[in-house]
Amino acid sequence: MAVKEDTRLTALEVMRDAPVIPVIVLYDVAHAVPLARALVAGGIRMLEVTLRTPQALQCIEAIAKEVPDAVAGAGTIRSAADAQASALAGAKFGVSPGYTRSVGKACHDIGLPLLPGVATGSEIMSAQEDGYTQLKFFPAMQAGGLPMLKAWQGPFGDVTFCPTGGISLANAPDFLALSNVACVGGSWIVPTDAIAKGDWGRIETLAREASQLKR
């Protein structure tokens, strides 16, 4: 299934919408809609629902159908089949933990904007060869953090990154201050315990804090 042309985003639009893209893990479909509404109320619209649980695709579908102000995306895309299933569920963008040509081609063919994961210069070059210049730097802290992103500003000055992995409210401003960073990915605004308890007010507050970060 291809994403409809009139609703298609670009990867850069996804990255520039807010300073943070939440990295969401959901185990209960009933949590999807109230979580999305809380995040939107806090100023966060681009929602990365990771394909780490059996319920993930149903959660994406519920958000896509019931929360029109949210933009549901699929994270942890690792195969062409993942990309297809995500688009069928209503995802408007995809995020992958790494990059393969087959995943890149599948997303291109169905019109699903993709933020491919990279951790090395060679991976950046592979993604660029296939037309991808908006990339997820993952796992950011473990793969070199701020010094690595600063080092990449020279040889990869035409690439924009979304560092993800070990990002928090405390260190996000340092990443967002870099010229080659458009946003960060983070799970701190969607704590597992808050989701389990249905504490949507706490999540809205965390989202509002994140949406006001400077970049």
pLDDT over 70 (residue 1): no
Cβ distance 72 to 91 under 8 Å?
yes
Q: Residue 208: CB partners within 8 Å, gap ≥ 6?
A: 42, 43
The distance of Cα 118 from the centroid of its chain, to the nearest Å, equals 13
> Which residue is listed with tokens 């929360």?
67
What domain count does the chain have? 1
Q: DSSP assignment of 126-168, as one string?
A: HHHHTT--EEEETTTTTTTHHHHHHHHTTTTTT-EEEEBSS--
Question: Is the pLDDT at 139 greater than 80, yes or no?
Answer: yes
Other C-beta atoms lying within 10 Å of the C-beta of residue 128: 16
The answer on pLDDT for 118 being more than 60 is: yes
The model's pLDDT over 22-71, given as tens digits with 9 standing for 90+, comes to: 999 999 999 999 999 999 999 999 999 999 999 999 999 999 999 999 99
Overall average pLDDT of the 188-211 stretch: 98
Q: Is residue 124 a contact partner of residue 100, using CB atoms and an 8 Å limit?
A: no
What is the predicted pLDDT for the residue at 11? 97
* pLDDT for position 8: 80
CATH number for the domain spanning 133: value is 3.20.20.70
Q: Which residues are catalytic?
A: 48, 136
For the residues 137-147, what does the mean pLDDT come to? 98
Q: What would the mean pLDDT of 187-206 be, rounded to a whole number? A: 98
Q: Domain span at residue 66?
A: 5-211
Task: Give yes or no for a contact between 132 and 106, defined as CB atoms under 8 angstroms apart.
Answer: no
- Supply the pLDDT for residue 7: 60
Summarised one tens digit per residue, pLDDT across range 120-138 is 999 999 999 999 999 999 9
Any residues with CB less than 8 A from the CB of 88 and at least 6 apart, and which? Answer: 1
What confidence tens digit (pLDDT) does each residue in 75-117 have? 999 999 999 999 999 999 999 999 999 999 999 999 999 999 9
Listed residue (61, 202, 175, 129) closest to 116, CA to CA: 129
Question: Mutual orientation of helices 200-211 and 32-41 as an angle, nearest 10°?
Answer: 40
